Amino acid sequence: MSRFDCIDTPLNGLKVIQRKAIEDDRGFLSRIFCAEAFAEYGFKKTINQINQTLTRQKGSVRGLHYQLPPHAEIKFVSCIKGEVLDIAVDLRKDSPTFLQWYGEILSESNRRSLLIPEGFAHGFQTLADNCEMLYLHSAPYVKEAEAAMNISDPKLAIKLPLTITDRSERDASHPMINNNFEGIVV
């Protein structure tokens, strides 16, 4: 029996992973990651880093972040407490879905995750207070490879469900896309 369902999204390579729980009167067991299964879904690299975040205020925004090649990374993102709208934007040069975005509600109760391939920017908006996220990364963070986009960029036309209540000064000051941006090659 598979512990996961893998659901394709309109953006090639971006997957929603539905974690299946085994439940009884005591509670549940839910597998977060399985290298064998995830290789079939596109996560064919080793996990190099695991990060956890806490975002306290409902309506807060983090992102949109990515790392430039050769430090591009696959991310596997789960909400382990609360609820978020998780967003991925296709930045792959020559992709038929270049600069298109996809959003998925991730929550502790729906046990959904996003498997985000290299060449995507990632961010989220919290839909509850005290949201905790768990990130599995295929590459270590490299400050010199860090890049970002502004989630409010009209060219992306991301529809957030709530008014932004909080975001870092850094995230608010990320640049808008200029006409010379051709994407990234991964």
Rounded to whole angstroms, how far apart are CA atoms 102 and 165?
21
DSSP letter for each residue of 22-64: EEETTEEEE----HHHHHHHT--S---EEEEEEE-STTBEEEE
Domain of residue 38, residue span: 16-21+28-166
Per-residue pLDDT of 86-106, as tens digits, reads: 999 999 999 999 999 999 999
The per-residue pLDDT for 149 is 96
Query: Which positions are catalytic?
Result: 65, 135
pLDDT classification of 169: cutoffs 50, 70, 90: very high
Q: Which two tokens stand for residue 48?
A: 């190099």
Looking at the domain assignment, is residue 4 inside a domain? no
CB neighbourhood size of 103 (10 A): 20
What's the pLDDT band for 1 if we cut at 50, 70, 90?
A: low
- Look at residue 144 and tell me if it is in a domain: yes
38 backbone dihedrals φ, ψ, rounded to 5°:
-70, -25
Instruction: Report if residue 183 sits inside a domain.
Output: no
> By C-alpha distance, which of 26, 27, 33, 30 is closest to 47?
33
Domain assignment present for 147? yes
CA dist 147 and 121 (Å) reads 9
Specify the number of domains making up the chain. 1
Q: Where would I find the beta strands (DSSP E) of the chain?
A: 4-8, 15-19, 21-24, 27-30, 49-55, 61-67, 75-81, 83-90, 101-107, 112-116, 120-126, 131-137, 146-148
pLDDT at 16: 98
**Average pLDDT in the 7-17 region?**
97
151 lies in some domain: yes
pLDDT-based confidence at residue 2 (cuts at 50, 70, 90): confident
CATH code where residue 129 lies: 2.60.120.10
Reported as a single tens digit per residue, the pLDDT across 108-164 is 999 999 999 999 999 999 999 999 999 999 999 999 999 999 999 999 999 999 999
Average pLDDT over residues 59-65: 97
**Per-residue pLDDT tens digits for 37-56:** 999 999 999 999 999 999 99
Alpha helices in the chain (DSSP H): 35-41, 169-172
